[in-house]
Structure 1
Amino acid sequence: MKNKTRLLAAALACALVLTGCGPRRTEPEPYPEPASSESAKTVAYVPLDDRPDNVERVAYLAESLGYALAMPEADWYRTALDGQPLNENGTQYGDMGRLYQWVLEQEAAGCDRYILSLDQILFGGLVSSRAVTAEACVVTLPDGGTIHLQKMLENMIAVLSSDPDNVVWLLDSVMRLAPTVGYQGGTLEEYNWLRDFGSLPRETLEGEQLTFEGILDSYSWGPHKENLWNQTAAEHDGVKNEEALSRYLSAREGKLTFSDLVQEILRQPGHENFRLMVGIDDSSLEDCIQKNEIAYLRQGLRTDRAGNPLDWLLAGVDDLAFKAVARMYLDETGWRGGTASVRYYGGTEDSPACDYDFQPLTTVVAEHLDLFGLTESANPLAAELQILVLTQPAEEGAGSAYCEALMRDLRECREANRPVILIDAGNGRYGTAFHEALKKEAELGWLLSYAGFLDMAIVTGTALSHGVARYAYLRNGEESETAERAFARTLADSVIKDFCYKNVVRNDLLAYIRSDLGGDPNNFWTPEIDREAVQARLERGMDSAVKDVIKNLQRSNFFALEPGGEKGWGGVALENYRFPWDRAFEIGMDIRLGVFTEPHERILGIYYQ
Structure 2
Amino acid sequence: MLSGGLVGSRWLDNTDLTFEYEVADYIITLTKKKQVCLFDTVMRLASTTGFGGYGMNEYSALRSYAAAARKQLAGDALTVENIIAGYRTGSDGSIIPTSLPEKALTKYFSSRSRKLRLADYIFRNSGDDMFCFVGIDDSTPQISIQTNEINYITSLLGANGSLFTGTDELAMMCFSRLTTDRLGTLSVSTEYFGGAENQAADSFDVDSLAVCLEKHYDGMRLVRADDTGADLHVLVLTRPVTDNNAVNSQKLINAYKKYSADGKPVAIIDISGDPATLANRLIGSGADLGYVFGYSSWNTAANSIGISLSNAACRLAHLKYGEADTDENRAGFVRSVVFSFCKDIGYKHGAKSALDSYISSLGGNTLNYYSIVTPAVERNINAVFEKAMTASGGFCARITKALEKSSLIAENMRKTAFPKVTLTGFRLPWYRTFEAAFDITVS
Taking structure 2 as the reference length, the TM-score comes to 0.93
Runs of 4+, deviation exceeding 4 Å: 560-563
Q: Structure 2 vs 1, CA of residues 155 and 389 (structure 1 numbering), >3 Å: closer, same or farther?
A: closer
Hey, what does 1:480 align to over in structure 2? 326
Query: Residue 445 of structure 1 contacts residue 552 of structure 1 at CA under 8 Å; is this kept in 2?
Result: no
Aligned to 1:119: 3
Counterpart residue number, 2:23 = 153
Report Cα offsets for 1:495-524 as digits up to 9, x if no partner.
11112111111122212322x222211122
Q: 1:369 and 1:183, CA in 2 relative to 1: closer, same or farther beyond 3 A?
A: same
Q: Does 1:452 align with 2:297?
A: yes
How many angstroms does 1:151 deviate by?
4.6
1:589 equivalent in structure 2: 438
Partner of 1:461, secondary structure, is helix
SS at match of 1:119: coil
Report which stretch shifted further, 202-211 or 521-530.
521-530
Q: How far apart in 2 are the matches of 1:169 and 1:338?
A: 19
Shift of 1:343: 0.7
Alpha carbons of 1:151 and 1:257: their partners in 2 closer, same or farther (altered >3 Å)? closer
Matches within 5 A, 1:515-534: 516-528=361-373, 530-534=377-381
1:311 aligns with one of 161, 185, 194? 161
1:280, CA displacement in angstroms?
A: 1.2
Matched, 1:433 2:277: yes
Deviation at 1:382, TM superposition (A): 3.2
**Counterpart residue type for residue 149 of structure 1:** F
- Deviation track 1:144-192 (CA, whole Å, cap 9, x = no partner) reads xxxx32452255236525xx33122222111000112222222322211
Aligned-partner SS, 2:195: coil
Distance 1:327 1:581 in 2: 29
- Any residues of structure 2 matched to 1:208-607 within 5 Å, and which? 208-228=76-96, 230=97, 233=98, 239-267=99-127, 272-302=128-158, 309-333=159-183, 335=184, 337-377=185-225, 379-394=226-241, 398-427=244-273, 429=274, 432-441=276-285, 442-476=287-321, 477-514=323-360, 516-528=361-373, 530-544=377-391, 545=394, 546-559=396-409, 565-594=414-443
Paired residue secondary structure (1:301): helix
- Asked if 2 retains the 8 angstrom alpha-carbon contact of 1:448 and 1:559, the reply is no
Take 2:28 and 2:235, find their aligned partners in 1: how far apart are those partners? 43
**How many angstroms does 1:289 deviate by?**
0.7
Do the aligned partners of 2:3 and 2:40 also contact (CA within 8 Å) in 1? yes
Structure 1 residue runs of 5 or longer lacking an equivalent are 1-116, 139-147, 234-238, 303-308, 595-609
Listed one character per residue, the Cα deviations across residues 75-116 of structure 1 (whole Å, up to 9, x for unaligned) are: xxxxxxxxxxxxxxxxxxxxxxxxxxxxxxxxxxxxxxxxxx
> What secondary structure, in the 3-state scheme, does the structure 1 residue paired with 2:191 have?
strand
| Distance in 2 separating the partners of 1:392 and 1:277 | 27
Secondary structure of 2:441's aligned partner: strand
User: Deviation at 1:527?
Assistant: 4.5
Preserved contact between residue 353 and residue 426 of structure 1 (Cα < 8 Å): no
8 Å CA contact retained: 1:447, 1:558: no
On the 8 A contact 1:579/1:586 being kept in 2, the answer is yes
Offset at residue 375 of structure 1 (A): 3.2
Q: Which amino acid aligns with 1:279?
A: G
Q: For residue 165 of structure 1, what is the aligned residue in structure 2?
A: 33
| CA shift in 2, pair 1:208/1:159, >3 Å | closer
Distance in 2 (CA, whole Å) between partners of 1:157 and 1:338 is 28
Aligned to 1:42: none
Task: Give the secondary-structure state (helix, strand or coil) at the position aligned to 1:388.
Answer: strand
- List per-residue Cα deviations over 1:565-605 (Å, max 9, x = no partner): 210112111111111101111111111112xxxxxxxxxxx
- Change beyond 3 A, Cα 1:134–1:380: same
Deviation at 1:390, TM superposition (A): 0.6
Aligned to 1:129: 9
Determine the structure 1 residue equivalent to 2:54: 186
Give the counterpart letter for 1:277 in structure 2.
F
Percent identical residues: 29
In 2: Cα distance, 1:173 partner to 1:402 partner = 34
Give the 3 Å change call, closer, same or farther, for CA 204–155 of structure 1 in structure 2.
Answer: closer
**Aligned equivalents of 2:325, 2:20: Cα separation in 1:** 44
The AA in structure 1 aligned to 2:279 is H
How far off its partner does 1:543 sit?
A: 0.8
Report the Cα distance in structure 1 between the residues aligned to 2:63 and 2:330, rounded to whole angstroms: 43
Q: CA RMSD in A?
A: 2.0
Tell me the secondary structure at the aligned position of residue 118 of structure 1.
coil
Q: Deviations over 1:20-52 (max 9, x none)?
A: xxxxxxxxxxxxxxxxxxxxxxxxxxxxxxxxx
- TM-score calculated relative to the size of structure 1: 0.68
Deviations 1:195-244 (A, max 9, x none): 0011111122111121112211221222222322x1xx3xxxxx331111
Distance across 2 between alignment mates of 1:169 and 1:353: 26
Following the alignment from structure 2 to structure 1, what is the Cα–Cα distance between the partners of residues 42 and 209? 19
CA distance in 1, matches of 2:28, 2:232: 40
Residue 265 of structure 1, CA deviation: 2.0
In 2, Cα distance between the equivalents of 1:159 and 1:373? 24
Counterparts of 1:159 and 1:262, CA distance in 2: 11
Change (3 A) 1:577 1:252: same
Gaps of 5+ in 2: none
Counterpart code for 1:536: A
Q: Which amino acid aligns with 2:191?
A: R
Instruction: Give the conservation status (yes or no) of the 8 Å contact 2:21–2:121.
Output: no
Q: 1:528 Cα shift? A: 4.4
Taking structure 1 as reference, are residues 281 and 539 closer, same or farther at Cα in structure 2, changes over 3 Å only? Answer: same
Worse-superposed segment, 314-323 or 292-301 = 314-323
